[in-house]
Amino acid sequence: MTKIQQAGELFAAIVHTPFGALGIRTGGAVITELVYLPASFDEKAPQDPVAAEAAAQVLRYCDDSDYRFHLPLAQVGSEFQRKVWQTISAIPRGEVRTYGEVAKHVGSMPRAVGQACGANYFPLVVPCHRVTGAQGLGGFAGSDDRNGFTLNVKRWLLAHEGLREYAWQQTTLL
């Protein structure tokens, strides 16, 4: 069994998407985590009804950026993180806010907002991709890889939602 196959065992489903794959973790009747995965992960059929519904909704979103998720999410994160995630969830499709704007709204600092975004258990459903840096794309999914996989996911999601200006912004010289 390869490492990718072993990692696939951690998920109740793995859905192939235009931006790679999405791992779905469930516990009981709720989603416990969504994880962006490279396309090299094998698709995995949903192992329970919650994972099946999540997989179907992810695919609907990939077909229609106006689709709104209606999934049972586990109650996770600190009070501050949940406040940031609630604020981010209110950002309309096709719009972005900077870390600073979100920070001002929640009475905090941009770095703390970035950390809350990086700790987001439900990316895509809680759309942290709609939060950008003041000077451009910013980070994504807790990664500091300025031009790698996770930022390409963010670029795809923003372009899918109509924000083509973020389609490619290389932030470092190679």
Report the alpha-carbon angle 9-11-17, nearest 5: 115
**CB-based contact 147:170 (threshold 8 Å):** yes
Q: Of these residues, 50, 55, 128, 158, which one is catalytic?
A: 128
117 is catalytic: no
Q: At what angle do helices 99-106 and 110-118 cross, to 10 degrees?
A: 100
* Centroid of chain to Cα 89: 11
- Strand pairing partners for 23? 14, 35
Q: Which residue numbers are catalytic? A: 128
